[in-house]
Structure 1
Amino acid sequence: MTTVLPVTTTVAAPARSPLKDIGRGFLRSPASLAALAFLLLLVFLAVASPLVMPYDPAAQSLGEKFLGPGASHLLGTDQFGRDVLSRMMSAARIALLAPAIAIATAIVLGVPVALLAGLRRGFVDAVAGRFADAVMSLPALALSMAIIAMLGPGLVNSMIAVGIAFAPTLFRVVRGAALATSRETFMESAESIGCSTKRILWSHLLPNVAAPLLVQATILMGIALLAEASLSFIGLGVQPPDTSWGSMLSDAYQNQYDAPFAAVAPGIALALTVLAFNVLGDTLRDVITAGRRA
């Protein structure tokens, strides 16, 4: 007599989506949702500010200078009679554009070299590592000011300078992740079948170091915004007629006796934006760490 054994079928669990994990991580944290909502508000103001601003941010009315908050000017006016609320809305574009330029510059300069150093090690790793150490030993703001002295003041030049100062930090983060990833079996398999260095770097190595790169870039966005505000405060960043929260703080400092509360609005906006970037970076780090442990 033949006994027929039941056949058991094992159903593979569906692959976890990184985007869904990040979404769940944000939904579990009210602070991260508030930070994301605030940044989305800045994006809206950066795009739609010409449509929602009550006044032209550059329009002067010397007869209305140093007005306090009121029905016609919700946040008052500055030393030239310009509407502070309109200038705050206009500066939201700079608050997003400036960190984006700085981080893009740092990624272009630091990430390709870091990937190559982590993959090949040897001479490239030694030279790039010593150069990164030398740059990181210099104060970032002082280095940026030295570069601006060569390039000239302005938003783009100042943020390129900040990006050059940030490049070694991204280099260190990406190199460490690339060193760990380069020892994985799939990397050895890619080399054994004859994949080119370019294909290995961009198709195999970069996707696996993107998570720490994204976290570090998000945190550096807040630091880049502070750097832009500092440079604009001393006149090396945004140039008139454009405005930024840093230049508004500079104007408030110069007229602190005539308008003692002029620094409140740009100061709060600057602090909240930097805090939002930091909370966003911390949430991404926690979600990615939890995903690796799972």
Structure 2
Amino acid sequence: MNAFKAAVVQMRSGMDPARNAADFEALVREAAGRGAAYVQSPEMTGALVRDRQTLRRIVKDEAGDLVVDAARRLAAELGIAIHVGSTAIALPDGKVANRAFLFDRTGALVATYDKIHMFDVDLDNGESWRESATYQPGARAVVAPLAGVPFGLAICYDLRFPHLFRAQALAGAAVLSAPAAFTRQTGKAHWHVLTRARAIENGAWLIAAAQGGRHEDGRETFGHSVIVDPWGTVAAEMPGDEPGIALAEIDPHASAAARAKIPNLQNARDFDLDMLADDGLSARRVAS
């Protein structure tokens, strides 16, 4: 597994897929020009649209998606791997998938991943989100090989579910990913803590491109795209919410080195959990 330069592309996607695809292409070309061999874009690269009816009107299937087409073409033209953090994809049943795409340097599709965990929350500033009303949740985790490096795929809210990343690490992933569109409120409170924690607890690189700023649909996202090394050090970051790119050298062997120092993946043990209550004792088995 050879070292390579990775780039996170920070965007402020709006409601026009064609404009977003053009912005995506310009940033990918900039990253490739600065030596990136792997480029990751944020969640919902193709469009950030809160209104369900508007989204369903503009969303395309996989064959017709502008960002997917651009990523495939650019990967082959530039000779780099491109990871579309996600884009909305129309499904035959009328629902929509929040889907990531990973292309290798020839433009071949290596893997797709549909976001498993839906952001159904009510925040204390009045924000309310119900992704499950529009999106079909995924049902499978993915670890995909890219130039000999096992990559774990995840999207945004997945970051709050450590067992997903643990399963990928146990399957051999040396690089984890969490492209996102974190809200400004939740990002300010938790983004850096969660990205660093997922890297530390799994001894893996964590690459997380993000949306940033105020979007056309009215939402505000946190930005601060990051690349975190397996020891939890932020190797690269976009410091605010403006569009742009950040780059870092990824050494996959650093993952093995971190796991050798802190072998928590090997040391984990299953255990019994005793539930103590006034009316008796119940127990269940917990897998680590």
TM-score bin (small chain): under 0.3
Compare the two structures and name the one with the higher strand fraction: 2
Q: Normalising by the residue count of structure 2, what TM-score does the alignment of the two structures yield?
A: 0.21
Q: Normalising by the residue count of structure 1, what TM-score does the alignment of the two structures yield?
A: 0.21
Greater Rg over alpha carbons, structure? 1
